[in-house]
Structure 1
Amino acid sequence: MCRLLGVVTHAPTRLADTLTDLIEPFTGLSREHCDGWGVAAWQPDGELAVSKDVLPAHASPAFAATLAGSVTDAALLHLRMASPGLPTEPRNTHPFSAGALAFAHNGYFAPVEAIDELIDPDLLAGADGDTDSERYFLRVLTRLHDEDPVDALALAAADIRERAQFASLNCLLLTQDALYAYSEENPDSEVSRRRGPDFFRLRYQARAGRVVVASSGIGAQDGDGWSLLPYRQVLEIRRSDLRVSTHLVRGALVGAGG
């Protein structure tokens, strides 16, 4: 299992400064979620920069250097805890990216090939790694051929729900326009029963100049300025004005194939 953290700010700022109150607890989680880290961030020149390492974030000099050196108004961060049997390699390290898109997932589904038939064949042929998470991203990319990011996320999750066993489909998607988050847990999964009802919750906090969305474990609690993202809803944080909205995609509530 993994941990997610996303942020959008009103102006480009060093991530080390933007997340000064969250870096220490988030990095601390890498003592358990220790199979690598990744950061995707929009740079002031309009390029999407992706940095990764297979070392735990707390033991990786590159992690601290990335936070100190990334000047951005929108970023997502990921700490990986690899699913059993999946190797700890750069190609399996989140976030996955394609052009102006970056994606990170917290959870798993099985079997890994459960949605392969729903993925554009060219995208599937170009897969870098072995993870279910990358397949999730490729299904989102396939959906994006015909749908907007909100629908693509929710419907891709529904596709997985129909065809696979899963623990969580929580994910972040970073685009040129916005940061999106999707939340869904299977409470009957072994991980959910063992970890408890808060482990897969995503929460978000909006305050002057900054909106963040985060997995549990960094002090994000109901109240205290944090709001719970309901299951099977998509959170949208616009880069242009920090407008925050949540979306319920009705066609995805039960499931959607094709």
Structure 2
Amino acid sequence: MCRWLAYTGDPVLLDELLYKPRYSLIVQSLHSRLGAETTNGDGFGVGWYGPVPTPGVFHGVEPAWNDRNLRELATHVAAPLIFAHIRASSGSPVQQTNCHPFRHGRWLWMHNGLIRDFPAVKRDLALAVDPDLYPRIDGSTDSELLFFLALTFGLEDDPLQAVERAVGLVEATGRRHGVEHPIQMTVATTDGRRLWAFRYSSEGRSRSLFHNTDVSTLRHQYPDNPVLHGLSDRTRLVVSEPLGDLKGAWQEVPEATCVVISEGRDDLRPFTPSVPATTA
């Protein structure tokens, strides 16, 4: 499907996340170890927060491993919160408007997975999007439509509840159309201050998702590891698959779980889809 990472902590160069780790996102674009596909070459995107109110985004339709502009950007842009995504299309066209992360105001969103039988349910789901938001949908992916459903159901006020309602609607709509397992997803979203990551699928066998162990704990376990001494205690990463193989550094996010990261602390909460009352 896709691979992604979300980082929050002290400002870091994109290069430190995208290229330098042993199993970096660029390596995963060619040789994913845990993805549904080994190769994720249908475009890429990065998003980051800087001195202006809205996040910057950069998208490309070339494979991430082959884009010289991304390589150049990565060695010059540093930020305290970064999203990065490499795409393996589930059927929608390879074009910039279909590359993640998607942006709305201060919010970023990226997704790995799919809404199954999307052509069959797309119209019903699109009609549930707030009419004021609908014109801002630029692409044709199920991922972006899921983002705008979450916005419709209150993402900017209560992200966990909004995504639960969006997913609940997708499941109810899919089953009405005879789809057995309507959704498969790992999702990350942020307003530039806090970060939410979700792991869920209708069949209960979700795509891989991990978060890092507290850096201070790792530093105690590996006092001679120079990389750990270069990281702040506030460093938090959520990734589709681990960026390295240091024992104990990565913890799998449980099924049906939302990870909330704020001010260098993470909190795991249950994720339970619910059908919005207005569409039940």
For the aligned pair, the TM-score class normalised by the smaller chain equals 0.7 to 0.9
Q: Distance in 2 between matches of 1:122 and 1:34?
A: 34
Q: Distance in 1 between matches of 2:21 and 2:146?
A: 27
Name the SS of the counterpart of 2:24 in structure 1.
helix
Within the candidate set 226, 241, 255, 2:250 is matched to 226
Alignment of 1:1-258 (within 5 A): 1-9=1-9, 11-17=10-16, 22=21, 24-31=23-30, 32-84=39-91, 86-109=92-115, 110-111=117-118, 112-144=122-154, 147-164=157-174, 165=179, 166-187=182-203, 200-205=207-212, 206-207=214-215, 208-216=233-241, 218-219=243-244, 224-238=248-262, 241-249=263-271, 252-253=272-273, 255-257=274-276, 258=278
The match for 1:194 is none
Cα offsets for 1:169-188 (capped at 9, x unmatched):
21110213211101112448
Letter paired with 2:260: E
Instruction: Report the TM-score when normalising by structure 2.
Output: 0.77
Query: Larger Rg: 1 or 2?
Result: 2
Letter paired with 2:235: R
CA contact (8 A) 2:108 2:190 kept: yes
Name the SS of the counterpart of 1:43 in structure 2.
coil
> Identity across aligned pairs (percent)?
23
Query: Structure 2 regions of 5+ residues with no counterpart?
Result: 31-38, 216-232
TM-superposed deviation, 1:167: 4.8
- After superposition, the CA RMSD in angstroms is 2.4
Name the SS of the counterpart of 1:108 in structure 2.
strand
TM-superposed deviation, 1:117: 2.6
Name the SS of the counterpart of 2:133 in structure 1.
helix
Q: Distance in 2 between matches of 1:185 and 1:220?
A: 26
The match for 1:191 is none
The match for 2:36 is none
Letter paired with 1:60: D
Q: Distance in 2 between matches of 1:234 and 1:220?
A: 24
Name the SS of the counterpart of 1:63 in structure 2.
helix
CA contact (8 A) 1:157 1:169 kept: no
Cα offsets for 1:14-39 (capped at 9, x unmatched):
22235665375321222211001101
Name the SS of the counterpart of 2:6 in structure 1.
strand
Instruction: Report the TM-score when normalising by structure 1.
Output: 0.84
